[in-house]
Each structure stands twice: as structure tokens, then as C-alpha cells.
């Protein structure tokens, strides 16, 4: 019997026993239908609404319960980026076992708080290192020095069997046979367990592993036919950020996974937005990874039945801003174009009137850096057909432009400007209603009066848009007349504080 077959048999046997243990602290999670792909039947396994808002309670509790039945430990050790720690804490408190959990210093605060809340006095958190690997190394050293049992987050037979109960719940549901199941992969514990469970009873189901583009340790290892450590590791999807897959999981996954695909952070953000729109739920990035893979594979799902596991929803609130920005990019709807324009009155307005008149503007970045030319960056949302139409207009009107959607200076909103070129500048905050055409109407109102030397706007999701605008004038009388005209216009603006204006205009 091959090593993989032997492991799978062991997982199958232990999964049957795990089904009798894990429901001491949790219940089966629901499977919900979502109408997100036309001509496809899509289901979501909602592990994000489990006892710890992630699937890790299954494997952690099963492993610790086995230890309590066989060794009766008084003290256990674990390492985790967050969700496994919560599962360990839940089990430690339930079984009255002391636990020391090593976590990266960068672990989201809410996960740390949740671990303490779940574990109460039974858990001690040790923050060490910048990555899971560094925390795991510290935990391993502590285990060796003190001869204590270690609760591995994924590379353990009992942990894998606990995660496999997800597959058993899918099999016992009323959704019937599936054509595709998408599973996110970090260390591979869930993928190995669920794939083992499903392939036994659904031999024709295709199991698709999903990893982040810069987290693809399983895909790399399977390609090389040996466990391979990846050098570059992106931590945006922190719950799946590991350098190498588990040894046991690799053996199972290389035999049972039909494919391993990768998704970008932007595609993951798009999947998070889909969950919000469909279920008013916000999974953490790793939790939405399998859904991102499913959406990316939509062309092969026509007339098929597919399922994705939403495996967690433990995310710091501060991540939402980045997710909201990147979700539209992930869906290939938002584009950032840098235009080359003549530095003169009305040039920005012309772009809106001639090219972008029928799209939603989401960002506007511009600073004067040359007396003759300007290079504004404008973000807009458009479908593929509309995008092609915009490109045609640009060609017909002979506008010079470039797509800077993925550029670092665009992502970090670097707006270059040279205040030495500003003539009699005036800076103001301007609030306008977030509706189609409102921004263009404002530009129309000032296009004959002043030149824009600075413009900073980003859609915030509010009903009112907020901008920081710098205007410049040919002479003092023109400046005075324009400010009087602005006061008479039905617009909401406020001159910025003198101290702030001085900082903006300061040159070295």
C-alpha cells in the first residue's frame, strides 16, 4: 500500500471518531446557495459562523480531546497566526488544560483578544517573531526544552481528521453530488482532510486547491514532487501564510487534488465584496480565498454544481479600507489611467466631458509638476465593453494615456506636485453629492475662472464626496473675483487653515 493510501485510510478512520468528539463544542455549519454565476449551481459552506468564526476549532479540539483521553496532559503548546489559536483556546478552556500559544507579533488584535476570551485563565499568549514560521520555531524550542505536547495547526493526523468533518457534513447534507469543490490551502490540513472525506464517497468530484499567488507552497511542492519552501511570502491572507505545506498534507493533496490554482489579493477582495453583497457577511481574506478561486474559474462551471468553503471571518476592522479599494480591481472593473494634458484651464474638465462622461469616477489624483503639461490619474469603474469604448474615445481624440492600475505610486496614492509652480494658490475642501455628474458640474463652474494645480479625491462610500483642491490664478484681481464667485455658488466649500496651507506650500 502506498504512503498516501495508508495516510488516507488513517484519516478516514480517525474522522469517524472525530465526528463523535468535535460536536462537544460546536455544531455542523450550514451550506447556503448563492446566485453569483449564471448557469451554475453554487453553494457555500459557512465555517465563518462556527464557534470561533473559523473552521480551526474542529482540528484543534479533536487533537486535544484525543490527548486528554490518552495522556491527560496538564499543559499544551501551540503556534498560530490566529484561528488555530482560538481553537486551542476553546479546547483548553473546555477540557481544563493549560495552554501556551505562540503567535506572531503581527497577529491581528481581534484574534489575540478572541484567544484570551475563549481560553480565559487557561491560556497564555506569547507574541514572538514577524511570521507564523518564527512563532512556530519559538514554540518548538519551548516544547523541546520542557517536554510538552505540541498541537500542530495542520500537520497532524488528528488535526486533519478534525478538519475532515467539514467534508462529512457536506456529504450528509441534502445538496447531492458536486462537480467541483474549492478549498483554500495554507498548510493543507483542511484540504487534505476534506479531500479524503469527499473523494471516498464522491470519486468524480474535482477538488481544486486555492492559494495566494505569493503563498503557493503546495502548488510549488506538487510541481516539484517534493516539499518546497517558498522564499517570498505575502501576508495579506494571514491565515494561509506558510512557507511550506505540512508533510502529511502534501502526501494526501498531491494524490487527491485535481488542480491547485492561485488568486491575487485583489481577487480575494472581490470575493469578500461578493460575500457582503450576497450574505451581508465579511470573511477574512483567507476565508474568502476559495470563493475567489471559484469565481475565477467561472468559465468552467457552466451547468455545474460547485461549492466553496468560507473558512473564517476573523479580521481587523482596519483592513476594510484596503479591501474596499482592491475589490473593484480584483473584479477587473476599476482602472487607473494616467493622462497627459496641456497645463491650462479646463483641461481636466475636457477629459470628463469627452472621455469619461458615462462612468463612475472613484479617485482623482493630480498635482502640477510642469508649467506646460499635466499628468492626472483618474480611477473609474467600467465593464470590459465600456472599457474598450473608452480606449476608442481616447484614440479618436488623440489623448496620450497609460494604464497605471498596478503601479506602486498609484496604490499608495503618491501625488507629486511642485508648489514653486503654483501662482497665487488657494486651497479648499470641497464637498459634493456623490452622484453622476456632480464633480463635472463643479469643474464646469470654475473652468473659466481658475486653473487647478492640485486635486485629491477618493470615493469613501458616503453620500457626500470629499476633495482637497488647489486653485491658482493669473493675478490678484482674478483670485479675488473667483473667491467671490465661489461664495455665491450653491456649493459647499471651506478654505483650509492657514497653517495647513503653509505646510502644503512649503518647499525645501
Domain boundaries, the chain: 3-52+160-328, 57-151, 333-505
DSSP per residue, 46-104: EGGGSTTSBTTHHHHHHHHHHHHHHT--SEEEEE-SSHHHHHHHHHHHHHT-EEEEEE-
The tens-digit pLDDT sequence of the chain (508 residues) is 577 788 999 999 999 999 999 999 999 999 999 999 999 999 999 999 999 999 999 999 999 999 999 999 999 999 998 899 999 999 999 999 999 999 998 888 888 999 999 999 999 999 999 888 899 999 999 999 999 999 999 999 999 999 999 999 999 999 999 999 999 999 999 999 999 999 999 999 999 999 999 999 999 999 999 999 998 889 889 889 899 999 999 999 999 999 999 999 999 999 999 999 999 999 999 999 999 999 999 999 999 999 999 999 988 888 887 888 788 776 667 899 999 998 777 788 889 889 998 888 889 999 999 999 999 999 998 888 899 999 999 999 999 999 999 899 998 899 999 999 999 999 999 888 887 778 888 888 877 788 899 999 988 877 788 899 999 998 999 888 888 888 877 778 889 999 999 999 986 4
Question: Which residue, 307, 106, 62, 355, is CA-closest to 205?
Answer: 307
For residues 292 and 264, give the distance between their C-alpha atoms in angstroms, rounded to a whole number.
9
What topology does CATH give the domain 333-505?
3.40.1020
Report CA torsion sign: 155, 108, 220, 46. Answer: positive
State the burial class of residue 120 (Cβ atoms within 10 Å of its Cβ: 0-12, 13-18, 19+): exposed
User: CB–CB of 210/182 below 8 Å?
Assistant: yes
Measured from the Cβ of residue 445, the count of other Cβ atoms closer than 10 Å reads 15
Q: Do domains 57-151 and 333-505 have the same CATH topology?
A: no
Q: What are the strands, taking DSSP E only, across 187-245?
A: 206-212
Question: Which class is domain 57-151?
Answer: alpha beta
For residues 15 and 20, give the distance between their C-alpha atoms in angstroms, rounded to a whole number.
9
Measured from the Cβ of residue 279, the count of other Cβ atoms closer than 10 Å reads 16
Please calculate the CA angle 143-148-154 and round it to the nearest 5 degrees: 70
User: CB–CB of 51/90 below 8 Å?
Assistant: yes
Question: Which residue, 7, 8, 40, is CA-closest to 199?
Answer: 8
Instruction: Give buried/exposed letters for 477-495 (b at 16+ CB in 10 A, else e).
Output: eebeebbeebeeeebebee
Report CA torsion sign: 132, 323, 443, 485. Answer: negative
What topology does CATH give the domain 3-52+160-328?
Rossmann fold (3.40.50)
Amino acid at each position: 500500500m502506498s504512503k498516501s493510501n495508508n495516510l488516507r485510510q488513517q484519516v478516514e478512520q480517525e474522522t469517524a471518531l472525530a465526528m463523535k468528539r468535535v460536536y462537544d463544542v460546536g455544531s455542523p455549519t450550514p451550506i447556503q446557495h448563492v446566485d453569483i454565476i449564471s448557469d451554475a449551481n453554487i453553494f457555500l459552506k459557512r465555517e465563518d459562523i462556527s464557534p470561533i468564526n473559523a473552521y480551526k476549532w474542529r482540528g484543534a479540539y479533536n487533537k486535544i480531546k484525543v490527548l486528554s483521553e490518552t495522556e491527560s496532559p496538564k499543559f499544551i503548546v501551540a503556534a498560530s497566526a490566529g484561528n488555530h489559536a482560538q481553537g486551542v483556546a476553546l479546547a483548553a478552556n473546555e477540557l481544563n488544560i493549560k495552554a501556551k500559544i505562540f503567535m506572531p507579533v503581527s497577529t491581528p488584535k481581534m484574534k489575540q483578544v478572541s484567544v484570551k476570551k475563549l481560553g480565559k485563565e487557561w491560556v497564555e499568549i506569547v507574541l514572538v517573531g514577524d511570521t507564523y514560521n518564527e512563532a512556530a520555531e519559538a514554540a518548538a524550542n519551548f516544547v523541546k526544552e520542557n517536554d510538552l505536547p505540541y498541537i500542530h495547526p495542520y500537520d497532524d493526523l488528528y488535526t486533519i481528521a478534525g478538519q475532515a468533518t467539514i467534508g462529512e457534513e457536506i456529504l450528509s447534507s441534502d445538496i447531492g453530488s458536486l462537480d467541483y469543490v474549492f478549498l483554500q490551502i495554507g498548510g493543507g490540513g483542511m484540504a487534505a482532510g476534506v479531500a479524503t472525506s469527499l473523494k471516498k464517497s464522491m470519486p468524480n468530484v474535482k477538488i481544486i486547491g486555492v492559494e495566494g499567488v505569493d503563498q503557493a507552497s503546495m502548488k510549488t511542492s506538487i510541481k516539484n514532487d517534493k516539499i518546497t519552501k517558498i522564499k517570498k511570502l505575502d501576508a495579506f491572507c494571514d491565515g494561509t501564510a506558510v512557507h511550506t505545506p505540512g508533510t502529511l498534507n502534501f502526501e494526501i493533496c498531491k494524490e487527491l487534488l485535481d488542480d491547485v490554482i492561485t488568486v491575487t489579493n485583489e481577487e480575494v477582495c472581490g470575493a469578500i465584496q461578493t460575500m457582503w453583497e450576497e450574505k451581508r457577511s465579511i470573511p477574512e481574506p483567507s476565508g474568502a480565498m476559495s470563493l475567489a478561486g471559484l469565481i475565477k474559474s467561472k468559465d468552467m462551471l457552466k451547468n455545474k454544481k460547485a461549492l466553496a468553503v468560507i473558512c473564517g471571518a476573523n479580521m481587523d476592522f482596519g483592513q476594510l479600507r484596503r479591501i474596499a479599494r482592491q475589490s473593484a480591481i480584483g473584479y477587473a472593473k476599476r482602472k487607473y489611467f494616467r493622462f497627459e494634458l496641456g497645463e491650462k484651464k479646463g483641461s481636466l474638465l475636457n477629459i470628463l466631458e469627452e472621455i469619461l462622461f458615462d462612468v463612475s469616477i472613484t479617485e482623482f489624483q493630480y498635482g502640477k509638476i510642469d508649467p506646460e503639461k499635466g499628468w492626472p490619474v483618474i480611477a473609474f469603474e467600467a465593464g470590459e465593453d465600456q472599457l474598450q469604448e473608452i480606449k476608442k474615445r481616447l484614440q479618436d481624440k488623440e489623448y496620450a494615456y497609460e494604464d497605471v492600475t498596478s503601479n506602486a505610486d498609484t496604490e499608495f496614492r503618491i501625488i507629486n506636485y511642485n508648489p514653486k509652480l503654483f501662482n497665487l494658490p488657494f486651497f479648499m475642501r470641497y464637498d459634493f453629492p456623490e452622484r453622476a455628474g456632480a464633480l463635472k458640474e463643479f469643474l464646469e463652474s470654475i473652468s473659466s475662472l481658475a486653473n487647478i494645480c492640485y486635486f485629491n479625491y477618493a470615493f469613501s462610500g458616503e453620500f457626500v464626496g470629499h476633495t482637497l483642491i488647489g486653485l491658482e490664478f493669473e493675478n490678484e484681481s482674478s483670485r479675488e473675483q473667483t473667491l467671490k464667485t465661489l461664495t455665491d455658488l450653491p456649493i459647499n466649500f471651506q478654505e483650509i487653515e492657514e497653517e495647513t496651507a503653509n505646510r502644503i506650500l512649503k518647499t525645501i
